[in-house]
Amino acid sequence: MRIGAPGAEKPVVRVDDTHYIDVSDVTPDFDERFFAAGGPALLSDRVTRGDVREFAGERIGAPIARPHQILCIGLNYSDHAAETGQAVPAEPILFTKSPNTLVGPDDDVRIPRGSTKTDWEVELGIVIGRRTSYLDSVEEAAAAIAGYCVVNDVSERAFQMERGGQWSKGKSAETFNPAGPWLVTPDELADVRNLGMWLDVNGVRRQTGSTKTMIFDPYVIVHHLSQFMVLEPGDLINTGTPPGVGMGHDPQIWLRPGDVMELGIDGLGSQRQHVLGAR
């Protein structure tokens, strides 16, 4: 985890809901340099030595520092593709999201100026653990993954689909990528391909799904992307969303100032964001 004010977060290891271990003496941040040097494996000795502290209401930041890039996979759940009326893709659909969209899991989400169709998307995030390109097999991809986290891939659908060009401009408004609360290492998950997912808006369940309906699982995604670009340590990949987004409802539902989103994934924790109006 990373806790503290925006821009001044310190790296910690979560012990339980009320306790953590400060590891800022091992690494100044969970950033590209940290992951390239070995990532979570660097922390084992420090964690063993204890020095457990109690949470005191600190803000939780994103579990990683601003990454080199945020990559996103579209229409990656068969049931979500069905709700949008689009064909299941033959290979992963790739778009990018501005790295400065990254915020903490409970930070406010701001509707952008001129927005009429701001939407939600609970997603599994992959964090890359080492510099990776041209992987020879899907099996190799597992060794390139440092861990997983919850992501809300907030989207402005009019910007995304009605303004021409790439999807990125509907995905890259400020605060549009809450992440966390934790980065969970792969060994702590029995099967990343079978995790329950959910999202509520104002206490009403809007998304219910599971990573088991992914079309392309995390290993396929990392292998595929490595054929087209270099993945850097600390890069974040958003892997798509299950059904229940606002765009998929009839009638469609869009976020408004004052709304509250709550979302989570089994084993990865939960988030809660208040929605603010445009600046």
Q: What is the pLDDT of residue 165?
A: 77
CATH topology of domain 70-276: Fumarylacetoacetate hydrolase; domain 2 (3.90.850)
First to last CA, the chain: 29
- Domain spans of the chain, in order of start: 2-54, 70-276
Cα separation, 151 vs 271, in Å, equals 9
Q: What is the pLDDT of residue 49?
A: 83
What residues in the chain have per-residue pLDDT under 70? Answer: none
Does an H or E element contain 156, and which?
Answer: strand 155-156
Tell me if the bond preceding 6 is cis, omega within 30° of 0: no
Q: Which residue has the tokens 């104002």?
A: 202
Q: Residue 271: which of 180, 173, 174 has the closest Cα? A: 180
**Are the C-beta atoms of 128 and 235 separated by less than 8 Å?**
yes
The residue type at 201: V
Tokens linked to 268: 């990865």
Cα separation, 232 vs 35, in Å, equals 9
Cα separation, 238 vs 70, in Å, equals 7
Tokens linked to 253: 């539902």
SS3 state at 83: helix
Which residues are 77's β-sheet partners? 214
Residue 251: burial class (beta carbons within 10 Å; 0-12, 13-18, 19+) = exposed
